[in-house]
Amino acid sequence: MAAILQSLGRTIIAGIILLILILAIVSGVTGVGPHFDHAWGAFVMRWLHVASGVMWIGLLWYFNFVQIPSMPKIPDEQKPAIGKVIAPTALFWFRWAALATVITGLLLATMNGYIAAALSLQVPFHAIGIGMWLALVMAFNVWFIIWPNQKKALGIVVVEAAEKAAAARTAMLTSRINTLLSIPMLYMMVAQQNGGL
Ligand code: HEM
């Protein structure tokens, strides 16, 4: 067991195997299981979408709830551990999870046949449409504002001290805007199926 848990890759594979086992046992006991049809395909896309969304918004909230407020409390000589090691890794998963969430979300809406109706905010797809537009703005912010400015702030792209400080501030404020947007975004995202609007 420790051999599995000491490796992140093996842990993820073990989680997938556990899921398959649970599905097989539940189907065997109840006689009810997934039908491998279009509806199931759309469901799997929804599952992948929620998983990427959790990774994306989880890291956004990690930055805003944990990392940014903790930075002033960390002694200067220890700050490079965050700036040079933790933040670049967190930003790697953050931006690719954002892209994966957008792609799986757009595919999901396409598979469910309402992408145009949702993006043009037609009733009854207006809730998911608003959620999608909010999330698209957030993903734009990640790729075209936060990431380019973080590259300067973290020294991945070398710039003068004043520009570096300005980039760090822009990245932080845009990250705050995304945290603000994440609250109505998530409400709208889950409202469509569950009577929230
Ligand atoms: C541009 C990005 C996004 C697009 C295009 C998108 C699109 C969609 C679509 C089409 C659905 C299916 C809605 C339905 O039929 O009820 C959905 C569901 C969902 N989305 Fe997103 N989404 C995006 C971003 C996000 C983000 C950032 C999260 C954060 C966790 C998220 C979480 C969810 C959840 C939890 C559901 C399941 C809702 C339910 O079953 O009640 N989505 N999304």
3-state SS, 53-91, equals HHHHHHHHHHHHHHHHHHHHHCCHHHHHHHHHHHHHHHH
**Contact of 185 with 134, CB cutoff 8 Å:** yes
pTM across the whole model: 0.95
Distance from the alpha carbon of residue 158 to the mean position of ligand 1, in angstroms:
37
Task: Please give the structure tokens belonging to residue 76.
Answer: 């200067």
pLDDT single digits (tens) 20-55: 999 999 999 999 989 999 999 999 999 999 999 999
What mean pLDDT do residues 173-182 have?
98
- Annotate 55-90 with b (16+ C-beta within 10 A) or e (fewer): bbbebbeebbeebeeeeeeeeeeeeeebbeeebeeb
**Which protein residue's CA is at the shortest distance from atom 7 of ligand 1?**
105
Distance from the alpha carbon of residue 96 to the mean position of ligand 1, in angstroms:
16
**Which protein residue's CA is at the shortest distance from atom 8 of ligand 1?**
105
pLDDT single digits (tens) 82-101: 999 999 999 999 999 999 99
**Which protein residue's CA is at the shortest distance from atom 43 of ligand 1?**
105
**Which protein residue's CA is at the shortest distance from atom 35 of ligand 1?**
50
Whole-number pLDDT of residue 117: 98
Whole-number pLDDT of residue 49: 98
Find the residues whose C-beta lies inside 6 A of ligand 1: 46, 49-50, 53-54, 56-57, 101-102, 105-106, 108-109, 112, 128, 132, 135-136, 139, 186, 189-190, 192-194
Distance from the alpha carbon of residue 8 to the mean position of ligand 1, in angstroms:
26
Pocket test for ligand 1, best of 189, 194, 197 (most atoms within 8 A of CB): 189
Quick one: which atom of ligand 1 is closest to the CA of 106? 5
Return the percentage of the chain with pLDDT > 90, whole number: 98
Domain layout of the chain by residue ranges: 1-33, 36-194
